[in-house]
């Protein structure tokens, strides 16, 4: 992340958003439409991802497998959180 900041005029928030977007695309081949970051307290940042439904999830939902799609989403987010923590 520091390389992104030193090589451009990106703010720390922009850099964080771009890093999150890059990781999500790398893992799931899907982009996030909106990423919002809030600094709640020193050292803690809350991140909200919008429109993160992947194609497999959408197909499960359209096929009537909402519960399976929910479980799939939960597992994807666990994977993403672990990878995100390892990056930051």
| pLDDT single digits (tens) 19-28 | 999 999 999 8
Q: Is residue 31 over pLDDT 60?
A: yes
Element (H, E) at 44: strand 44-50
> What is the pLDDT of the chain when averaged over all its residues?
85
Residue 4: Cβ within 10 Å count? 15
DSSP string, 63-76: TT-HHHHHHHHHHH
Do residues 19 and 32 make contact, with C-beta atoms less than 8 angstroms apart?
A: no
Model confidence pLDDT, tens digit, residues 43-74: 777 888 887 888 999 999 999 999 999 999 99
């Amino acid at each position: 992340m520091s390389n992104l900041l030193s090589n451009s005029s990106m703010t720390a928030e922009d850099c964080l958003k771009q890093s999150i977007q890059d990781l999500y695309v790398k893992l799931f081949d899907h982009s996030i439409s909106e990423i919002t970051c809030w600094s709640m307290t020193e050292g803690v940042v809350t991140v909200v991802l919008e429109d993160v439904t992947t194609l497999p999830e959408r197909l499960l939902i359209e096929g009537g497998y909402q519960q399976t799609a929910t479980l799939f989403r939960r597992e994807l987010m666990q994977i993403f959180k672990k990878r995100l923590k390892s990056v930051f």
